[in-house]
Amino acid sequence: MTGSLKKPSASILFLGYSQKETMLIDALIEKGFRVTHTNQRISDTSGYDLVLSFGYKHIITKKILDNAHIPLINLHISYLPWNKGAHPNFWSFYDSTPSGVTIHLIDEGIDTGPIIFQKYINFTEYETTFEATYKRLIREIESLLILNIHSIIAGEYSVRPQRRKGSFHKVGDLPHEFKGWDSNIIEEIHRLDQINNNQ
């Protein structure tokens, strides 16, 4: 994909997590980019060179996508096409699907856009809880973006469509019996499996 975005004073609209929730906003500012943050619904993207979505709770409408002449990019803590939607870290363990992080273009679906950058993650023996692995995924995707931000701004990247259908989960799909994010992953998955088998 080619582009002619300005360097390094490009204007970025950052959707979702605040400066308290991610280090990315401060890191982008330190690199010289002009960053505007919001977690509210947007109606257009005019005046910006790039839109980044990370932890954004709203669907970007087809009208916005059709009228945007800039990249709209989402950061998702799963190895797409697996575990689109909510709680991807839980489902990667529960469904025995790959763990990873993905930077992809936004399209009309939820986490269905073409992949730009992606990294498979192997956890250490010390990352034994859902909370610990979640924090690792957040660090990994933040690092992946910072490593490639200049390529993204310059439009110097290629995209590839997601292979296979993968999987998707809604917020309500999380098992009601789930003990919580601090629980031991192996023990909790085994316990949930036993509950399912008994039912």
> CATH topology for 11-174?
Rossmann fold (3.40.50)
d(CA 8, CA 153): 8
> Given CA atoms 100, 12, 14, 84 in this order, what sign does their dihedral have?
negative
- Who's near 49: CB < 8 A, 6+ residues apart? 5, 6, 10, 11, 12, 70, 153
Q: What is the per-residue pLDDT across 135-189, written as a single tens digit (0 to 9) for each?
A: 999 999 999 999 999 999 999 999 999 998 999 999 999 999 999 999 999 999 9
pTM tops 0.85: yes
Enumerate residues 6+ apart whose C-beta is below 8 A from 195.
175, 177
Is the pLDDT at 6 greater than 70? The verdict is no
Find the Cα–Cα–Cα–Cα dihedral 78, 84, 89, 94, rounded to 10°: -120
Domain boundaries, the chain: 11-174
**Tokens (6 digits) for 101:** 């992080």
* Size of the chain in residues: 199
